[in-house]
């Protein structure tokens, strides 16, 4: 019997039982924190020595703890680090496929210089000296004129401030990130309320979870660590999971209840629930009065207008369900929590949505309690001196004045800003970013990067010839995350930790890690820049690890190399709760003193925000809050209490309270007028943005992305399963395949964002015979790659639409028409109108603040105040 790879995959599940007694699986015992690892030290059947090297993942941004197994200098297996308090020895498919990231045939191994026109695909191999001398010369020439003409734009940075250090050393403030296309409205919705930009729910001990638009089981932030604890909570505590989502995600499908919700209406449902909790006397009024900057009576009066009936009209969620779920949630307190991520946040009203859902936790008083909605935990370090000064002037590209509250950049606007002359650039460097693929209105980025007048000199620090680096003048081959030095600490668990990323194998070809590149560049630019980069990347990391309290005494970086994480907790370790209630000490005269032990200055009292704040004369800021006869460190806010009312929002013409406004373009769809639909995007568990498409194991699992459409909606358009359809937005159209499913809201279609590459290499583009002149061959790919459908990328027809408060791209708001494809349409066709895209950009600027009064639907400038 001849068995090909496709048939093998089809019968793989049935064959699984036959493998259940193999030695490797017998070793796969349940892990214990601080316990034995899952693999034995020898490779079964080969007798080779296998070394386990602890390190930290970077396939996505969650930084899971890993054990990288190396034989004869080659990475052969990746598992979770059982000593890691977040990962607990388990990793996802992306983490295991890190081997593919290192050895992908899509990777480039040498510095390349363009020899044809941008985008023509003509390159020549050059030496590192040639590449770095040219780049350093361009930077040196530019900073002598205006340092801000040099821009550094990163996607997945994780260099612990190294890239920012480089830019400050040359005097430039012109930096961009990917946060505005990822989650910045969630951050801005949270930060002014309690300080941090993320929450860490205690899923393990909770009894009730309200999940607004997040796919915890598959692709949420910290999904690997969270799903372990969520399953613990559901099995051990019988925790109920209720999901509001437009799509039947893996999480929605495994929830006790899935409530299909109209896009962008999460906030009004949360406010209606909050109203019911207040009206039924289920709120923790003591907590509200003590720990927030409003009173329970004020809050009750404010929320009264948000009725379940109003929320039903906006969201489609039945009023009776809103009432019932609100009461269930409140009665579970303090062992209840909400969770959100991109679903509610990536809308025109995203920051408000986040603030509204957060309010549910505040009014039931579950903040930082066991089983509740907890503050994030983390550990810090210091970077070595000398440290460069901040740049002398700001950059309008990094800090556009229309978005004064968006503290995490509005980087998806950069292309239009440069094309319209808002700021001149002479050198544009991007790192671990693919703006021509990852951004909305991606065609405008093509136009920009091909424009040699607007972008005279461009450099891509990239492991691949991507859609963007294909338009660069020079490509510097970036090493993989298995070949670099970085410190890491993420709030993936309630036990804080610090770890590191260390090389586990040598670089292939002439790849170099980005810190080594920037250090070399700095020294070539001159001693005034180079003096900040005397340490090697390893020495830089060693300094950071030695500065972590308690780690130097354990051996610093040597301890991390051995264990992968600090501290190493045992199974008896328990998290601390209500961390905001750390009491301040008094001096001999009975005055409260500064919690900074190096200061210990007597504090002064002053009334504000319905309470008493304690100010330190030395630090010149509030360091505590007084409640009764005691004082506490409180939250990281101006008053040290939770800011339900945010003054800064009001100063710029926005509502200072949790608030809902309908998205103007959705009103006709919601009312059932016309034939338009809302298109949303989503992620699946085997991919992140663009880079993982080069991993053959992951792309074999998921390589295409049909459009999800509800059967009723499809029938109205005579669309059947697998039909070619044309999806048209205000800036263009694409042609893809339909997948008809009950798992999508009838007024919504959805397309995932991982597929449809037109650059990269043989794995991403499913071309097994594609040559790899600047990379490495892979016989497995050239012989066994069997799929040919790579999907269609939706971002090119998604117009720019920006939350005026948080600065996020409103990915979930795109209005489209859907019809059967025309006779001349072909699968994968994409056509974009750049003039229409430009108009959409200017339209969204119309929603932004005008310092003391922007406008959304004619209402946002009517600021309310309790």
CA distance 110 to 123: 11
Cα 257 from Cα 210, distance rounded (Å): 10
Confidence of residue 611 (pLDDT cuts 50, 70, 90): confident
Tokens of 68: 């990288």
CATH, domain range 664-845: 2.40.40.20
Neighbours of 279 (CB within 10 A): 15
Task: Name 11's Cβ contacts closer than 8 Å, sequence gap at least 6.
Answer: none
Question: Using one digit for the tens of pLDDT, what is the confidence trace for 475-514?
Answer: 999 999 999 999 999 999 999 999 999 999 999 999 999 9
Q: Is the pLDDT of residue 36 over 80?
A: no
Centre a 10 Å sphere on the Cβ of residue 140 and count the other Cβ atoms it contains. Answer: 16
Q: Reading across the β-sheet that carries 611-616, which strands appear in turn?
A: 604-608, 611-616, 621-627, 630-632
Domain boundaries, the chain: 5-101, 112-181+381-395+417-547, 199-364, 579-651, 664-845
Q: Exposure string (b/e) for 411-424, b if CB count within 10 Å is 16 or more?
A: bbbbbbbbbeeebe
CB of 424 within 8 A of CB of 822?
Answer: no
Once rounded to an integer, what is the mean pLDDT over residues 249-264? 98
Helices 184-194, 350-364: inter-axial angle, 10-degree rounding: 40
For 730, phi then psi, to 5°, come to -70, -10
pLDDT one-digit tens code per residue, 90-128: 999 999 999 999 999 989 999 999 999 999 999 999 999
Question: Residue 6: what pLDDT?
Answer: 53
Peptide bond into 567 cis (omega under 30): yes
- Residue 708 has which token pair? 């999800």
Both tokens of 124, joined, read: 């020549």
Q: Which helix (H) or strand (E) holds 784?
A: helix 779-784
| High-pLDDT (> 90) share of the chain, % | 84
pLDDT at 590: 82
- Lowest-confidence region among 44-48, 455-459, 487-491, 695-699: 44-48
CATH code of the domain occupying 112-181+381-395+417-547:
3.40.50.740
CA distance 334 to 366: 4
Query: DSSP code of 852?
Result: S
- CB 456, CB 421: distance < 8 Å: no
Q: How many Å apart are CA 241 and CA 256, to the nearest integer? A: 5
Q: Which residues, at least 6 apart from 120, have a Cβ–Cβ distance to it below 8 Å?
A: 114
Check pLDDT > 50 for residue 852. no
Taking only the tens place, the pLDDT of each residue in 230-256 is 999 999 999 999 999 999 999 999 999
Task: Read off the tokens for 41.
Answer: 């030290």
pLDDT at 588: 82
Q: Rounded CA gap, 295 and 384, in Å?
A: 46
Torsion angles phi and psi, residue 140, rounded to 5: -60, -45
> How confident is the prediction for the chain on average, in pLDDT?
92
Radius of gyration of the chain measured on its C-alpha atoms? 27
Q: Starting at the edge strand that comes first in sequence, how are the strands of the sheet with 498-501 ordered?
A: 486-488, 498-501, 565-566
Asked whether the predicted pLDDT for residue 862 surpasses 80, the reply is no
690 confidence band (pLDDT: 50, 70, 90): confident
Instruction: Compute φ and ψ for 364, nearest 5 degrees.
Output: -95, -5
In sequence order, the β-bridge partners of residue 820 are: 725
Neighbours of 408 (CB within 10 A): 21
Residues in the chain: 866
Tell the CATH topology of 199-364: Dimethylsulfoxide Reductase; domain 2 (3.40.228)
Q: What is the mean pLDDT of residues 531-554?
A: 98
Residue 413 to residue 847: CA distance in whole angstroms: 14
Residue range 5-101, CATH number:
2.20.25.90
Residue 62, Cβ neighbours under 10 Å: how many?
24
């Amino acid at each position: 019997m001849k068995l090909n790879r496709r048939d093998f995959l089809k019968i793989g599940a049935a064959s699984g039982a036959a493998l259940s007694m193999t030695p490797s699986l017998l070793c796969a015992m349940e892990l214990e924190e601080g316990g034995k690892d899952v693999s034995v030290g020898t490779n079964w059947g080969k007798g080779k020595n296998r070394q386990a090297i602890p390190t930290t993942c970077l396939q996505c941004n969650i930084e899971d703890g890993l054990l990288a197994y190396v034989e004869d200098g080659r990475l052969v297996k990746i598992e979770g680090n059982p000593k890691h308090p977040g990962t607990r020895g388990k990793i996802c498919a992306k983490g295991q496929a890190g081997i593919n990231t290192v050895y992908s045939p899509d990777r480039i191994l040498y510095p390349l210089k363009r020899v044809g026109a941008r985008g023509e695909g003509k390159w020549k191999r050059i030496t590192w000296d040639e590449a770095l001398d040219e780049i350093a010369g361009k930077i040196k020439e530019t900073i002598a004129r205006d340092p801000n003409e040099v821009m550094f734009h990163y996607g997945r940075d994780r260099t612990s401030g190294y890239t920012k250090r480089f830019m400050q050393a040359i005097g430039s403030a012109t930096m961009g990130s990917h946060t505005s296309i990822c989650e910045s409205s969630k951050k801005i919705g949270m930060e002014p309320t309690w300080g941090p930009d993320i929450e860490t729910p205690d899923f393990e001990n909770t009894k009730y979870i309200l999940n607004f638009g997040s796919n915890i089981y598959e692709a949420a932030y910290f999904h690997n660590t969270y799903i372990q604890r969520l399953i613990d909570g559901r099995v051990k505590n019988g925790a109920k999971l209720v999901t509001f989502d437009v799509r039947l995600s893996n999480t929605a499908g495994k929830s006790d209840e899935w409530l299909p919700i109209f896009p962008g209406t999460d906030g009004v449902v949360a406010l209606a629930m909050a109203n019911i909790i207040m009206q039924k006397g289920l709120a923790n009024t003591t907590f509200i009065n003590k720990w927030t900057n409003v009173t329970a009576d004020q809050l009750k009066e404010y929320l009264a207008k948000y009725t379940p009936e109003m929320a039903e009209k906006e969201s489609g969620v039945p009023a009776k369900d809103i009432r019932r779920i609100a009461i269930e949630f409140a009665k579970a307190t303090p062992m209840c929590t909400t969770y959100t991520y991109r679903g509610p946040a990536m809308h025109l009203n995203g920051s408000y949505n986040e603030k509204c859902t957060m309010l549910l936790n505040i009014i039931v008083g579950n903040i930082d309690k066991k089983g509740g909605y907890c503050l994030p935990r983390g550990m810090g370090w210091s970077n070595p001196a000398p440290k460069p000064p901040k740049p002398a002037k700001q950059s309008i590209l990094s800090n556009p004045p229309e978005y004064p509250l968006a503290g995490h950049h509005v980087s998806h606007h950069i292309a239009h800003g440069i094309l319209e002359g808002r700021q001149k650039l002479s050198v544009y460097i991007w790192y671990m970013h693919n703006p021509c693929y990852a951004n909305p209105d991606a065609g405008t980025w093509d136009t920009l990067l091909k424009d040699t007048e607007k972008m005279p000199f461009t450099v891509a620090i990239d492991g691949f010839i991507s859609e963007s680096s294909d338009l660069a003048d020079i490509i510097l081959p970036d090493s993989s995350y298995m070949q670099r030095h970085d410190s890491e600490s993420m709030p993936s668990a309630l036990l804080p930790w610090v770890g590191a990323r260390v090389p586990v194998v040598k670089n292939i070809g002439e790849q170099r890690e980005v810190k080594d590149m920037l250090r070399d560049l700095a020294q070539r630019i001159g001693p005034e820049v180079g003096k900040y980069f005397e340490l090697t990347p390893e020495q830089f990391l060693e300094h950071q690890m030695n500065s972590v309290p308690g780690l130097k005494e354990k051996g610093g970086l040597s301890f991390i190399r051995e264990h992968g994480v600090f501290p190493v907790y045992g199974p008896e370790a328990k998290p601390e709760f209500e961390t905001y209630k750390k009491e301040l000490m008094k001096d001999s005269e009975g005055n409260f003193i500064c919690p900074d032990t190096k200061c210990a200055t007597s504090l002064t009292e002053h009334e504000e925000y319905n309470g008493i704040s304690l100010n330190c004369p030395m630090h010149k800021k509030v360091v505590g809050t007084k409640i009764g006869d005691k004082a506490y460190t409180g939250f990281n806010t101006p008053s040290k209490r939770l800011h339900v009312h945010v003054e800064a929002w009001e100063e710029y013409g926005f509502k200072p309270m949790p608030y809902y406004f309908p998205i103007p373009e959705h009103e006709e769809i919601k009312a059932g007028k016309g034939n338009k639909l809302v298109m949303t995007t989503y992620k699946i568990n085997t991919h992140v943005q663009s880079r993982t498409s080069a991993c053959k194991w992951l792309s074999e699992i998921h390589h295409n992305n049909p459009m999800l459409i509800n059967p009723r909606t499809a029938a109205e358009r005579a669309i059947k399963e697998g039909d070619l359809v044309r999806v048209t937005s205000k800036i263009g159209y694409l042609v893809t395949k339909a997948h008809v499913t009950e798992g999508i809201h009838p007024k919504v279609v959805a397309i995932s964002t991982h597929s449809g590459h037109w650059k990269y290499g043989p794995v991403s583009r499913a071309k097994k015979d594609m040559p790899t002149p600047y990379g490495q061959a892979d016989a497995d790919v050239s012989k066994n790659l069997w799929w040919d459908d790579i999907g269609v990328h939706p971002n090119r027809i998604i117009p720019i639409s920006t939350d005026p408060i948080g600065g996020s791209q409103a990915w979930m708001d795109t209005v489209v028409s859907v019809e059967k494809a025309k006779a001349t349409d072909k699968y994968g066709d994409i056509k974009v109108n750049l003039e229409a895209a430009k108009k959409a950009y200017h339209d969204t600027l119309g929603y932004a603040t005008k310092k003391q009064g922007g406008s959304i639907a004619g209402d946002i400038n009517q600021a309310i105040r309790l």
